[in-house]
Structure 1
Amino acid sequence: MTLTKAQIVDNLFAENIFTKAESAQIVETLFEIIKQTLEDGEDVLISGFGKFSVKQKNQRRGRNPQTGDPIQLPPRRVVTFKCSGVLRDRINHGG
């Protein structure tokens, strides 16, 4: 099962600290800050969770999967995620 943004809002609302509208605004603002930071080429480090980084991919040769014809793939930026040791331990050892 996949955790959705709506479920994050519901979980935050369930803590009885914020209204549903406030919870939705907090989540939206958090994701907007993360997106803007990554768009600017900066890393996002969340202690105990992991690090999001923007990496540059060079131009490379590829292949059209339908026709098999060779193509040039343009340079691009991709987001990578490396989880923290704390998260890795929780995933592998159940907490």
Structure 2
Amino acid sequence: MMVWGVSLIYFILGWIFFTRTFRFYALVSSLLLAIALHNVLQSRLLVILYIAILAGVFFALLLLKRSPDKKGTLYFSLPCWLLIATVLINVFF
């Protein structure tokens, strides 16, 4: 249940602060985040690390002087990288 809540908050914050329009890639990105978080639920440290990375990137993007669309693209590509990291962690550890 926590996984879907974090993904929903991620989607809503990205929509409010970056895109302000519905984008299909934003929805898919939120689903990828839910998958990544679901795969690391066995380790609380990884969950906390992933959420800290999400928060850090969110605040860093708020401070950047770029257009909201470019920020949105960067913001919504982060779950793809987290999912790749999750797969690598599960394969090698």
* TM-score normalised by structure 1 residue count: 0.32
Structure ranking higher on relative contact order (CA contacts 8 Å, 6+ apart)? 2
Q: Which has the larger radius of gyration?
A: 1
* TM-score normalised by structure 2 residue count: 0.32
Hey, which of these two has a bigger chunk of strand by percent? 1
